[in-house]
Amino acid sequence: MRVPARIAMAFLVLTSPLFPQTSQSPSLMPQPRQVTPGTGELAIGKDFKIEVKADPSDQMMHEAAQRCQHSLVGDAGLHAPPRFIQPGAASSAHSLTIMVRASAAMRMGVDESYSLTITPTGARLEAATGVGALRGMATLRQLVQRDGDRVFLPAVTIQDSPRYPWRGLMIDTARHFMPVEVIERNIDAMELVKLNVLHLHLSDNEGFRIESKVFPKLQTEGSNGEYYTQNQMRELIRYAALRGIMIVPEFDMPSHSTSWFAGYPELSSYPGPFKPGVLTYEGIGPKSTMAELGAAMEQAKVPAMDPTRETTYQFLDKFIGEMAGLFISPYMHIGADENNGVAWLTSPSIVEYMKEHDIAGAPALQAYFVGRVKTLLEKHGKQVAAWEDAYLPDQFNNAIFEVWTPFKKSDVLGGPLSNGNKALVSLGFYLDVFYPAHFHYLNEALPVKDDPQAEQSLLGGEAAMWAELENRSTVESRIWPRAGAVAERLWSPAGELNVTDMYRRLFRLSAVLDREGVHNLADYRQGVKRFAGALPVEPVTTLLDVLAPVKGYRRLMTAAFVHAAGGPGDPPLNRVADTVLVDSAAKYQFREALTAWLKTHDAASGEKLRRCLELWSKNDALLAPYLAQSKELAEVAGHSKRLAALADAALKALDQLRKGQPLSAAQLAEADALLRSAQTADGETEIVVLPEIEALFHGSLAPEPATYPLF
């Protein structure tokens, strides 16, 4: 069907690039430590050159300079490739000179600082190490601007260095396997926002995702045939290292380990057989309450390794030795979370062992297990990392504990840890709860202001992408661009946080990532096309652009009830809730216009509001044929109708207010009733522009919420 011209024009208003970058206000994420805007711009013409003053044998610099050139000039092929020149040689005019004083691989604490100066006659990037030069080139790649055929860099001077040395992204490849090309695209995105640790969660109940030649039944029995070969992993490690990123593997133990037991049941605390998959809980069904599910999880006999058998440690010694030879990172993560201890405390032999060795309770037995594994890791040259569940005061030394749980105050954060232990923050950075970017940006688990006492043992933090509800077709749109807000908190200096400016830069980052080949928007566009079928995509886009998945763990808990009741183990993840973006650019464009209009009632802002409201008002009628052909879209049909009704009422209100006529009590009551109705979570999605529409009626726009319910 054809889309009327007026609606198409309104659609273009909503989908045009947000918050364009200017030379006075570079839209960089993360924000550099110090930025001084200059005057003018450096044109990237046919005579533009990249000259590198570094060790000519430095492969990292060779490839980084090529990536930088591609970002600057695209695929035109009209420019000479980057060339290495002597450190004392004069730089060419209209060139980018990259000067690196020493080659260095990515390691914790490496100098990542750089300085960048861009003038109309040339650009100069200086760094003490190649890793620092990579960070500077990431800034350059974000700075590039295009205006038609014209490509240029704004004049600017930047001095930059990171706040924390560990800036990570955790990707769960156990619940849903993520192919090599997906991991590579995420590494590309990490490079652009200066994240430097890729934490790969490689084993869990659902799957064991790395090839072991010593214990091959780990992957043959513990996965569905989807795992990384050792050659693939070596290439991924190399790929990441060339981008200044370290891959840290996680092998979850002693619990979250059913996939281990599928091939090697002798590791378990109780006999099998075992097969990889989602854990189910007895007596739980779709009508069970959250409290009942929680109690069932606490009481369930969760499979866990037997910590009392020497054969367990003999197995782990050989396995860790093999993996230590594969992963070059000095760190290995062992999980050690969410072990309720029931499997141990119901085993007569384990209880007897605890009595004989004076081990009082499951937490103490877990500490014993972690201590034994830590010794094995150190034997093979690795430092242990674990989730905070493994932490006990004065129990360990030189270990890294990652804070995650929102259910209790952590013992790991807030002050110095003894014995050289260090902390990482993932609490508040969980991307799988579908919270918008500003929640992660405002995360108070990471000190907002410089606090030497709180930060004495803090290495940094990680964004966490658990994949129970994500797969290879959705994970990139879930991670990006929100992980950029996390990257900013970990890189940029402490200071005042500005949500409005953060979103201005976040949506430009999203466009840069899309341009660079990350699938943060491509997967969304593909989902929209799937719902639209052979029809034009615009009406589907108009609705989906203002929807988001329900926040918190409600969707995950719904899936848990289904699994517990014997439902399907792996949903297809092809619904609207699996497709829509967490942060809506349309919402923030509308919010920006509304904020301006509430202050001044100016005609330009009022007209922007009108165009958006007209688009939403008329879209429900356009969607009718789409709803008839797509059961997935039909799930959110109620949203379309309610949004149209709200937009109709808001248009009338806007016309009155622009004429200086106040709204009646009856109008406001009707609007409030429509708003309450629109809060329905159809298809486990929600309309994200409700606060802004409410503000139009009531004349006051509240700040974005700082917190959201977890369930």
Is it the case that residue 380 has pLDDT exceeding 70?
A: yes
Same domain, 279 and 425: yes
Is 26 a domain residue?
no
pLDDT value at residue 77: 56
CB neighbour list of residue 113: distance below 8 Å, 6 or more residues apart? 127, 128, 132, 135, 159, 160, 161, 162
Going by pLDDT thresholds of 50, 70 and 90, the confidence category of residue 295 is: confident
Is it the case that residue 95 has pLDDT exceeding 60?
A: yes
**Residue 169 identity:** L
Q: 153 and 28 in contact (C-beta within 8 Å)?
A: no
- Average pLDDT of the chain? 92
Is 20 a domain residue?
no
Between vectors from CA 471 to CA 466 and to CA 475, what angle results, nearest 5°?
A: 65
Rounded-to-integer distance, Cα 55 and Cα 102, Å? 8
User: In 3D, which of 492, 329, 344 has the Cα closest to residue 400?
Assistant: 329
Residue 505's Cβ-side half-sphere holds a number of Cα atoms within 13 Å equal to 25
Same domain, 472 and 386: yes
Per the confidence metrics, is the pTM higher than 0.75?
yes
Average pLDDT over residues 521-530: 98
Is it the case that residue 294 has pLDDT exceeding 70?
A: yes
Same domain, 286 and 400: yes
Each residue of 451-479: pLDDT tens digit?
888 899 999 999 999 999 999 999 999 99
Q: 273 and 336 in contact (C-beta within 8 Å)?
A: no
Q: Which of 23-32, 162-171, 253-262 has the lowest mean pLDDT?
A: 23-32
User: In 3D, which of 413, 424, 362 has the Cα closest to residue 387?
Assistant: 424
Same domain, 383 and 292: yes
Pairing verdict, β 331-335 and 246-253 = parallel
Same domain, 64 and 173: no
Same domain, 282 and 423: yes
Give the dihedral of Cα atoms 358, 364, 370, 374; nearest 10 deg: -60
End residue of a domain, out of 132, 160, 188:
160
CB neighbour list of residue 164: distance below 8 Å, 6 or more residues apart? 458, 459, 460, 461, 490, 491
Query: How is residue 360 written in tokens?
Result: 């009082």
Rounded-to-integer distance, Cα 551 and Cα 406, Å? 15
- The crossing angle, in degrees rounded to 10, of helices 665-678 and 690-698 is 170
pLDDT value at residue 572: 81
Q: Could you tell me the CATH number of the domain that includes residue 213?
A: 3.20.20.80
Is 710 a domain residue?
no
- What's the count of helices (H) and strands (E) in the chain, helices before strands? 27, 19
The full DSSP string for 467-533 is -TT--TTTHHHHHTTHHHHHHHHHHSPS----HHHHHHHHHHHHHHHHHTT-STTHHHHHHHHHHHT
**Residue 248 identity:** V
Same domain, 330 and 411: yes
Average pLDDT over residues 629-638: 97
Spell 413-434 as b/e; 16+ CB within 10 A means b: bbeebeeebbbbbbbbbbbbbb
User: In 3D, which of 34, 96, 29, 91 has the Cα closest to residue 68?
Assistant: 96
Going by pLDDT thresholds of 50, 70 and 90, the confidence category of residue 415 is: confident
Same domain, 123 and 261: no
pLDDT value at residue 46: 83
Q: Which domain holds residue 83?
A: 34-160
Same domain, 529 and 511: no
CB neighbour list of residue 184: distance below 8 Å, 6 or more residues apart? 236, 239
Q: Facing residues of 203 across strands?
A: 208, 251
Give the number of residues written for the chain: 711
Going by pLDDT thresholds of 50, 70 and 90, the confidence category of residue 287 is: confident
Query: How is residue 335 written in tokens?
Result: 């999980």
Same domain, 497 and 540: no
Rounded-to-integer distance, Cα 489 and Cα 458, Å? 13
Rounded-to-integer distance, Cα 237 and Cα 239, Å? 5
Tokens 């156990």 -> residue: 174
pLDDT value at residue 2: 33
Is 709 a domain residue?
no
CB neighbour list of residue 603: distance below 8 Å, 6 or more residues apart? none
Is 24 a domain residue?
no
What helix, strand, coil percent values describe the chain, rounded to 5?
A: 45, 15, 40
Is 111 a domain residue?
yes
Q: Which of 59-73, 87-101, 624-638 has the lowest mean pLDDT?
A: 87-101
Q: 696 and 609 in contact (C-beta within 8 Å)?
A: yes
End residue of a domain, out of 160, 176, 211:
160
Q: What is the CA radius of gyration of the chain?
A: 27
Q: Could you tell me the CATH number of the domain that includes residue 94?
A: 3.30.379.10
Same domain, 149 and 183: no
Number of separate domains in the chain: 3
Please state the separation of Cα 85 from the chain's center in Å. 38
Each residue of 580-629: pLDDT tens digit?
999 999 999 999 999 999 999 999 999 999 999 999 999 999 999 999 99
Is 297 a domain residue?
yes
The full DSSP string for 610-637 is HHHHHHHHHHHHHHHHHHHH-HHHHTTH
Spell 487-498 as b/e; 16+ CB within 10 A means b: bbbbbbeeeebe
Tokens 């992957």 -> residue: 219
Phi/psi zone of residue 137: left (φ > 0), alpha (ψ -120 to 50 degrees), beta?
alpha
Is it the case that residue 315 has pLDDT exceeding 60?
A: yes
**Residue 472 identity:** R
Is 28 a domain residue?
no
Same domain, 422 and 438: yes
pLDDT value at residue 216: 98
End residue of a domain, out of 109, 142, 160:
160
Is it the case that residue 193 has pLDDT exceeding 60?
A: yes
